[in-house]
Chains A and B, each alone.
Chain A
Amino acid sequence: RKEVEQDPGPFNVPEGATVAFNCTYSNSASQSFFWYRQDCRKEPKLLMSVYSSGNEDGRFTAQLNRASQYISLLIRDSKLSDSATYLCVVISSGGYQKVTFGTGTKLQVIP
């Protein structure tokens, strides 16, 4: 089983739609969680951190479910500019910080 798993998609949604992605992780000792966004042929960029209490940034809401070991990203009122690949990132710490990326979920927002 992969350490971090995501549905690769693609998710094709119309503008204005609400879309949600999930990401599951296998290491119960994982401590920190993030969503990154990667545009085609570009480097990944941090989108938002994910906190246990859930957090919101404009149209984006991230949630963490430690009991079921998954995190989610909800995008409301999708824009064409939201089209990208969304990468789930899980960080665990033993003697050092281990950063594991999911393979990403591709989102295509259609006019």
Chain B
Amino acid sequence: GAGVSQSPSNKVTEKGKDVELRCDPISGHTALYWYRQRLGQGLEFLIYFQGNSAPDKSGLPSDRFSAERTGESVSTLTIQRTQQEDSAVYLCASSYPRDREGEKLFFGSGTQLSVL
């Protein structure tokens, strides 16, 4: 029923703190993607999940970034020891398996992260 849900919608944190961002994909969507978008910039790929495994983590910018997914559903993106350059909108998208229109991504409304 519902679309992709992300929480929180806004997060303000102090430099050096850890943050967790959550994504609830559309039910039945096995593929899940995380992107980062800085103000006025394009989408920067972070990580892709197929089911609970992550075959492509190539976009994670540093070891401060990690993500997991459980039950082929909820995913969390964790940023440790946040830096000011981490400030951005973090977007989550999900899609069906490839054999069922798996290439059409549906996005959540994002989490706006501000690191002070």
Partners in one complex: yes
Q: Which residues of A pack against B, CB within 8 Å?
A: 32, 34, 36, 42-46, 49, 87, 89, 91, 93, 95-104
Total of A-B residue pairs, C-beta within 8 Å: 52
B83-116: which have CB < 8 Å to A?
91, 98, 102-110
Quick one: which of A34, A46, A95, A101 contacts B43, CB cutoff 8 A?
A101
Please, how many angstroms separate the alpha-carbon atoms of A45 and B107 in the complex? 7
Interface of A is mostly: strand
Set of chain A residues within 8 Å of B42, measured between Cβ atoms: 87, 101-104
Cα A27 to Cα B48 in complex, Å, equals: 19
C-alpha gap A97/B97 in the complex (Å): 10
Contacts of B107 in A (CB 8 A): 43-45
- Residues of B at the A interface (CB closer than 8 Å) are 31, 33, 35, 41-43, 45, 48, 50, 55-56, 91, 98, 102-110
B residues less than 8 Å from A49 (CB atoms): 104
CB A98 to nearest CB in B, in angstroms, measures 7
Q: Is A101 in contact with B45, judged by CB distance below 8 angstroms?
A: yes
Nearest Cβ distance between residue A22 and chain B, in whole angstroms?
16
CB-CB nearest in chain A for B58: A98
C-alpha spacing A103/B37, complex, angstroms: 10
Residue of A with least CB distance to B92:
A43
The residue of chain B having its C-beta at the shortest distance from the C-beta of A93 within the complex is: B98
A95, B55: Cβ atoms closer than 8 Å: yes
Given contacts A34-B103, A100-B45, contact A43 B110 (CB under 8 A): yes
Task: Give 9 nearest A-B pairs by CB, closest first.
Answer: A103-B42, A43-B107, A96-B55, A101-B43, A32-B103, A91-B103, A43-B109, A44-B107, A104-B42
CB contact under 8 A between A96 and B56, given known A43-B91, A43-B108, A45-B107 = yes
Residues in chain A near residue B50, CB distance under 8 A = 96-97
